[in-house]
A = this chain, B = another copy of it.
Amino acid sequence: MYSNLELPKGFKCAGIAAGIKADGSKDMALILSEEPATAAGVFTTNQVCAAPVKLCREHLAHGSARAIVLNSGIANACTGSAGMVAARGMAAEAAEAIGCQESEIFVCSTGRIGPQLPLDKIVVGIGNLYSAASGGNVQATAEAMMTTDTRPKVSVAETQVDGKSVKIVGFAKGAGMIEPNMATMLSFITTDAAVESQALQAALKKAVDLSFNRITIDGDQSTNDTVLALANGAAGNVPLGEASKGWEEFSEALNNVCHELALMIVHDGEGADKFVTVHVTGAESDAAADLAARSVANSLLNKTAWAGEYPNWGRVMDSIGYSKARVDEDRVSIRYDGVQAVANGMRTEIPQAELIKVVSQSDFAINIDLHLGEGSATVYTCNCTEEYVRINVE
């Protein structure tokens, strides 16, 4: 519960039920800055992308923003020109309520692909959100962005910049359809730091690469992924650039918030009950290590083996072997946490029971050393259970 948490200075938020989800649960949220904020954004790379993503890209070009308005339940994806009209309508309504330019509003949607947004409900919802907005509505706001998530996801960091206290509060939603390049996930970062526009964009891009782009649940990438950051300067520091004193502290705090939110998403993977860190070292390059790690993390055979608490290192060998990373099987070593299962490409004398003990934990690491170079990478994933299939069958 985040009921005692306050947003950074100058921010308000709200989450309500607007009747978009059939079950009557919360499905609209607003995150609002009292003053114009510097904005940054990172979006899905899917060629099929939702109307709100297109609109966010367009509005991001203006550089400053007042608010993010979002709905869950309907993705407003594959909705053609009517979908763009609805996204613009949502932005226009929020702009009117707040009294700002339409281009200062970011719009996000998540949920089913195909249906058009019920703009009448959205309009009423925006009015209600604006009335309800306050600095302490973090819990309701986080709940309103959930789809198959089982719990809201919020992360907080505080640091000192230029002698001023700076706060960062981030929200996220995730669950299924998560792979590199941020699939079906939304994240919204608010901070009262003053940050220059280009610097904020660079910091956000880097933070996303180290966090949301390092997690994978089912290897699918969605049409709606969006990470937005708003920095409103209410902390009163001299605006941060990449060369500023305090830049490192700010970047690190931002990285920490994104990293924590990303791990929360994996921990809440659909039907998953194990959190697995795949760590590859000794690759020819960091890029090669990344390819090998993702191949292991995305293998359905590995993910089901982990669900069975079975240390099937053969499937790990198999999945690095078909990755695009160079592998010399006779050099590979694999450790489950600290327990060495494979040396020189063959199983060690370690009793199976020792390995079973590791994979029976709810959180463990597969450490793979390719013994070919200095490249390394880490990917965070989860197991694939019958429950995952049940959720997605339904």
Question: Which residues of A come within 8 Å of B, CB atoms?
Answer: 45-49, 75, 77-80, 112-114, 176-177, 179, 181, 183, 218-223, 299-301, 304-305, 307-308, 310, 313-315, 317-322, 326-330, 332, 342, 344-347, 384-386, 388-390, 392-394
Residue of A218, A322, A386 ringed by the most chain B CB atoms within 10 A: A322
Which B residues lie within 8 Å of A392 (CB)?
Answer: 300-301, 304-305, 308
CA distance A385 to B330 in the complex (A): 36
Question: Is A346's CB under 8 angstroms from B113's CB?
Answer: no
CA distance A388 to B390 in the complex (A): 12
Question: Is B347's CB under 8 angstroms from A47's CB?
Answer: no
**In the complex, which of the residues B299, B318, B389 contacts A388, with contact meaning CB atoms closer than 8 Å?**
B389
Count of identical protomers in the assembly = 2
Known A300-B300, A318-B46, A385-B389; judge A114-B326 contact (CB<8 A). no
CA distance A77 to B317 in the complex (A): 10
Which B residues lie within 8 Å of A80 (CB)?
Answer: 330, 344-346
Question: Is B301's CB under 8 angstroms from A177's CB?
Answer: yes
Known A220-B322, A342-B78; judge A307-B46 contact (CB<8 A). no
Question: Is B346's CB under 8 angstroms from A314's CB?
Answer: no
Which B residues lie within 8 Å of A219 (CB)?
Answer: 299-300
Known A300-B300, A329-B48, A329-B78; judge A113-B393 contact (CB<8 A). no
Which B residues lie within 8 Å of A385 (CB)?
Answer: 389, 393
Which residue of B is nearest A344, CB measured?
B80
CA distance A327 to B47 in the complex (A): 6
Question: Is A78's CB under 8 angstroms from B218's CB?
Answer: no
**In the complex, which of the residues B304, B308, B319, B347 contacts A78, with contact meaning CB atoms closer than 8 Å?**
B347
Question: Is A301's CB under 8 angstroms from B176's CB?
Answer: yes
CA distance A305 to B114 in the complex (A): 15
Which B residues lie within 8 Å of A181 (CB)?
Answer: 322
Which B residues lie within 8 Å of A308 (CB)?
Answer: 392-394
